Structure 1
Amino acid sequence: MIRVASYNMRKAIGTDRRRNPERILEVLREIDADVIALQEADRRFGARAAVITPHLLDEHSDWKAIAFGVRNGSMGWHGNALLVRKSSTVLECQTIHLPALEPRGAVSADLKVGDVTLRAIGMHLDLSGLWRRKQAAAVLSHVEGCTRPCETVMMGDLNEWTRAAGCLRDFARDFAFADTGPSFHARRPVGRLDRIMVSPGLKIVDCGVHMTAAARKASDHLPIWADLSPA
């Protein structure tokens, strides 16, 4: 069994409006997931450098950031990053270009975590419902086009408020959703904007929203998590 998590870290700006990457790592250590999808992991302007520096990860965590070939100091791709245990093996990784009016993307990696091989995809979809559906179609097309047979977990901030409509309906045709619960806003969560979805070969053993005092302060989203095993 492995634990996965998804977290819109809001560039490490907490509900107190202070930027504090160390708080994000504190929350991630509480969850202790094997694979983590981060959204808004880079600064928005300028060099788009990673908010959590390589030094912080190396010295104060059990994770490494998957390198997607971006050379501007970014942790991932358009703010999307994947963290995995330092003991894990990255078999393959790539970026996914998403249709949008402003730059957006998703990230994908085939991983060996202990005895489990799986494909992890992290994404942050548009505020517009029309663009969300186009982006969902791009992600699903990427999955269908992968040549390596691999069970898949997809995670991220989908920005979809309606449970059975829009991009959620598109994803639900081939993927099961973890019933994690509301994760936005961190102080008073009412929206299920953050989602974890798995292919038929994976079983959701347990799942939830991480609602500690640290998580309520570190970002405007709460992290979500799920424990998975082969079906």
Structure 2
Amino acid sequence: MRLLSYNIHKGIGGRDRRYRLERICEVIEEQNPDLVCLQEVDTNARRSKFHDQPELFAKYFSLDHKLFQLNVKLKAGGYGNLVLSRWKFQETEQISLKLNQKKNRGAQMCVVDTPEGKLHLVNWHLGLAEKERIWQARKLLMHTSFKKYAEHPTLIIGDTNDWRNNLANGPFAHQGFRHITRPASKFRSFPAYMPMGSLDKLFVNHGLKIKHTHMVRSLKTRDASDHLPLVVDFHFRSPTMSLLEKEIGEGDPLPEKSE
């Protein structure tokens, strides 16, 4: 299974400052992901020609399952997070990560019915201040719904704004999550044209096996946004019982466990 995470900067290029949503589409399409987690997605905003970007992306990639979270409202429209999936959502929940008077941030939680079983997926975008990010991570990890869904293999991904790489050894380490996007030198994602900060990060629990993770570096990604996209190929560590039964054959007895 393949997942792509991308802060698309509303479709506005990091260097030329031009709105060219087709560049974002081309970047994503070249990676052929099954799941797409986007941050800074516009809807009905003047700067992006009043486009309904969540709907445009869903139609362009023929991904029927869509979840949009509007975090920041503008005079016209606003922007937020978007999850697109090849497979249906069994459960969804969206929580605000707003702290005091700071800009609203959010996290999307989905239980996705993948071919390998139920995946608990979180797409989020964190704040600019370190104390704010620590608070946001703790709020997510201690949230009642997160704990309920965390019985499934869990993947947390998105733009953390974690310049100093402190999240991994803080809240996530205490909850038994592995930080996959390290060392930071291999996963620099911002600014896209000359990456210096490893801001787009991936954390997983024990239920997932990561096959490969990389930043997409190309002439196209240097210009399409101010972030580089992050791609991860992964599998469940053990197949679900239903999947095992399907592989053996319907109606056939499961093999007896050897001593």
Distance apart, 1:34 and its partner CA:
1.2
Cα deviation digits, residues 155-193 of structure 1 (max 9, x gap): 011001123x24652223321122361111111112100
Percent of pairs identical after alignment?
31
Paired residues of 1:160 and 1:167 also in contact (CA < 8 A): no
Query: Is 1:7 paired with 2:1?
Result: no
The alignment's C-alpha RMSD in Å is 2.7
| Aligned positions, number | 221
Paired residues of 2:41 and 2:54 also in contact (CA < 8 A): no
Distance apart, 1:130 and its partner CA:
0.9
Distance apart, 1:195 and its partner CA:
0.5
**Matched position secondary structure for 1:192:** coil
Code of the aligned partner of 2:191: H
Distance apart, 1:66 and its partner CA:
2.1
User: Which of the pair is proportionally richer in helix?
Assistant: 2
Cα deviation digits, residues 129-157 of structure 1 (max 9, x gap): 11111100111113653257311100011
Cα deviation digits, residues 180-223 of structure 1 (max 9, x gap): 61111111112100011111110111110011222111101000
**Matched position secondary structure for 2:136:** helix
Distance 1:147 1:187, change over 3 A: closer
Long gaps (5+) in structure 1: none
Distance 1:66 1:188, change over 3 A: same
Structure 1: distance between partners of 2:4 and 2:40:
15
Structure 1 stretches of at least 4 aligned residues deviating more than 3 Å after TM superposition = 43-46, 48-51, 67-70
**Matched position secondary structure for 1:63:** coil
Normalising by structure 1, what TM-score? 0.85
**Matched position secondary structure for 2:42:** coil
Cα deviation digits, residues 80-134 of structure 1 (max 9, x gap): 111112xx11101110121322222111110012233201101110001111111
Please show how residues 30-179 of structure 1 align to structure 2 within 5 Å: 30-42=30-42, 52=53, 54-58=55-59, 60-64=60-64, 66-67=66-67, 79-85=80-86, 88-100=87-99, 101-142=102-143, 144-146=146-148, 149-163=151-165, 165-166=166-167, 169-173=170-174, 174-179=176-181
Residue aligning to 1:22: 22
**Matched position secondary structure for 2:191:** coil
Long gaps (5+) in structure 2: 238-259
Paired residues of 1:68 and 1:93 also in contact (CA < 8 A): no
Distance 1:90 1:222, change over 3 A: same
Q: Which structure has more RCO (C-alpha within 8 Å, separation ≥ 6)?
A: 1
Please show how residues 181-220 of structure 1 align to structure 2 within 5 Å: 181-220=187-226
Distance 1:44 1:183, change over 3 A: farther
